[in-house]
Amino acid sequence: MATAKDFSNDIRPTWCPGCGDYGIWNALKRALPEAGLEPHTVMMVTGIGCGSKMNDYLHINGLHTLHGRALPVATGYKLAHHDMTVVCVHGDGDGYGMGGNHFLHAVRRNIGLVDIVENNHVYGLTKGQYSPTSRPGFVTKTSPEGTIDRPENSLALALSQGATFVARTFTLDLKHMIAVMVAAMNHRGYALVDVMQPCVSFNRGMDYDWYKDRVYKVDEEGHDPKDRMMAMARAWEFPGEGRIPIGILYQTEDIPTYEEQVPALERGPLWQQPLREDPAKYKALLDELS
């Protein structure tokens, strides 16, 4: 089995000291091997943002794409190389804002990939504008009077579209993070992992203590991850005034993944299929047009 070291490289992250992304980084270095993966058996697809630089700081196959486009790139990748484990890592602005449409369609397709969203409720890399998950009234440079957009509820959105794995975790709880990530990596289909991640530079109102005071583990409160309505009720708790549920809110493995159903993939991964076919088939193409 690989170890965290196998996934490490010598590049020092550019994140601010204290940034919640370090926790996610450490969790990934441990979750990946724990899920039985090696650097060349995973493809980590990221978007653009602070946290999307994740694959620059790992020894792993990586695609660092465009702001908001991690999911379609990952979908194309998965379809062409479906025995690779595909893990997306990106920010809330990236995944839920710019990438919202890809998010919703990835969910309903149940494409087999892990979608880790580093949710710091702000745009970090562009220096602190409000994000789709920002709390109402959040004062930023693009909302000097406080935001008036109500926050997006991404877990509820995923559930509403029949997501097969919906989870949340918190960057200060390494064990919890690892457990949730490993479960996601072993899941059949699309797995959403929303990570509560403090941004110490631009979202000081939501610091580690703020989160610590609010998070609670759903599995310690009799939650049934097979009950979609219960999951929805938990999802609606946050964003909100009260507590923040973490853990696996919902999971089912009864739904086939998208890639399981694509006829072309029955003969094996696309990337390994020969480019030339049985010569007899070619004539038929011309006959169709004759």
Partner 1 sequence: MTHTDFVFRIGGEAGQGVESSGAGFATAFTRAGLHVVAVPDYYSRIRGGHNFFSIRVSPEPIYGLIERVDILIALTDETIERHLEAMAEGGIIILDDQSQVSGESIPASVTLLRAPLNEIAEKHGAAVMANTAAVAVAAGLVDFDLDYLKGVVRDNFGSKGEAIVDANLAVLTDAYQWVKEQASFGRTLKPQESPKRIACNGNEAFAMGALTAGCKFVAAYPMTPATSVFEYMCKHAAKWGIATKHAESEIAAINMCIGAAHAGARAMAPTSGGGFDLMTEGLSLAGMTETPLVIYLAQRPGPATGLATRTAQTDLNLAMYAGHGEFPRVIMAPGTPEQAFDCAHRAFNIAEKYQCQVIVLSDQYLASSIFSQDRSAFNVTSPIIDRGKLLSAEEVEATDEYKRYALTEDGVSPRALPGSSPKTVYLATGNEHREDGHITEDASLAEAMTLKRNKKLEGIATEMQAPTLYGDPDAELTLVGWGSTCGALVEVVDILNAKGKATRLVHFCDIWPFPANARKILGDKAVIVVEQNVHGQFETLLKQATGITVKGHIHRVDGRPFTVEYILRELEA
Ligand X SMILES: Cc1ncc(C[n+]2csc(CCOP(=O)(O)OP(=O)(O)O)c2C)c(N)n1
Chain positions contacting Mg ion, by CB under 5 A: 91-93, 120
User: Is 194:168 a contact under the CB 8 Å cutoff?
Assistant: yes
Residue 126 binds which entry of Mg ion, ligand X, ligand SF4, none, CB below 5-8 Å type-dependent: ligand X
Under the criterion CB under 8 A, does residue 3 sit at the interface with partner 1? no
Nearest to 169 by CA among 224, 225, 116, 128: 116
Q: Which long-range contacts (CB under 8 A, 24 or more apart) does 130-134 make?
A: 131/91, 131/92, 131/93, 131/96, 131/97, 132/92, 132/93, 132/96, 132/97, 132/100, 133/92, 133/96, 133/239
Among 94, 115, 173, 259, binds ligand X (CB under 6 A): 94
String of contacts with ligand SF4 for each residue 73-112, x by CB under 6 A: ----------------------------------------
String of contacts with ligand X for each residue 74-93, x by CB under 6 A: -----------------xxx
Binders of a copy of itself among 113-132, rule CB under 8 A? 132
Least separation in angstroms between CB 219 and a copy of itself: 22
Among 120, 153, 171, 257, binds ligand SF4 (CB under 6 A): 120
Burial class (CB in 10 A: 0-12, 13-18, 19+), 290: exposed
Residue 94 binds which entry of ligand SF4, ligand X, a copy of itself, none, CB below 5-8 Å type-dependent: ligand X
Residue 43 binds which entry of partner 1, ligand SF4, a copy of itself, none, CB below 5-8 Å type-dependent: partner 1
Binders of ligand X among 113-132, rule CB under 6 A? 118, 120, 122-126, 131
Under the criterion CB under 8 A, does residue 92 sit at the interface with a copy of itself? no
Interface size with ligand X, residues (CB under 6 A): 17
Binders of ligand X among 38-67, rule CB under 6 A? 48-51, 67
